[in-house]
Amino acid sequence: MPHLLNIWPSVCRQLASAPRVLLLFDYDGTLTPIVARPELATLSDETRRSLSALAGMDRYVVGVVSGRALADLEVLVAIHGLVYAGNHGLEMRGLGMDFVHPEAPAFGASLAEVTRLLERELMEVPGILVDNKRLTLTVHFRNTPDSYGALVDSTVVAAAAPYVDAGQLKITRGKKVVEVRPNLDWGKGKAIEKIREECGDNPLPMFFGDDETDEDGFVAVQDAGGLAVYVGPIRERTLALHHLDSPAEVGQVLALLVQL
């Protein structure tokens, strides 16, 4: 898997040959380092300047595709002209869109009940955060001692089991998180495809991500002839064909894109 900065001249040629480029990024672990609590993840000044500059250029469409709630994402990033996709693309704003997946709101009552159960069952677990984002639910255990990891996972599985067994909800996992989501054929890959369609001119897509939930996004952009970039230490279990070591290197790429 080549390091993106090591093959930058060939990447430049590919980007330069495209009339327009769609630049999409996960947020936590990609544009910002993973931090102890979600609200502490903020963009560096350099990354913010680069994203703002790119959003102002006609040849780029720039967006953030995240598991965070859309409103949370918009407040944290707060850059005019970006496309924002929250809850793994179940809700999106930008390019004239004000999109909510038509089936997603129907799962709100089930997610609220699972949230209630988890808040009760995990009350004694130190450092736990149960975050009901209306369209999805995330249990964060980054601040929880490692010895509790299996307990947290099994508790989430048990609380969601009636809804999973009924085909309503599904469980996904990421870096120190367990998520409960509507059992819909929808994720970051489908969101990226919809954003690209809304552009109207089939721009060359480029997507940067760091976690398991980014994998279908990697597939979507590579199937469209674009570039998928995994951010973090090289691992075997990624479908992305390029990598960067850290969010700091993502910042370097952003600066290079501004100069392109």
Cite the active site residues.
26
* Amino acid identity at 95: L
CB 50 within 8 A of CB 257: yes
Structural tokens at position 145: 């001692």
Question: In the block, which residue shows the tokens 């703002």?
Answer: 52
CA distance 253 to 18: 17
Phi then psi for 233, rounded to 5 degrees? -60, 140
* Amino acid identity at 130: V
147's CB contacts (< 8 A; 6+ apart) are none
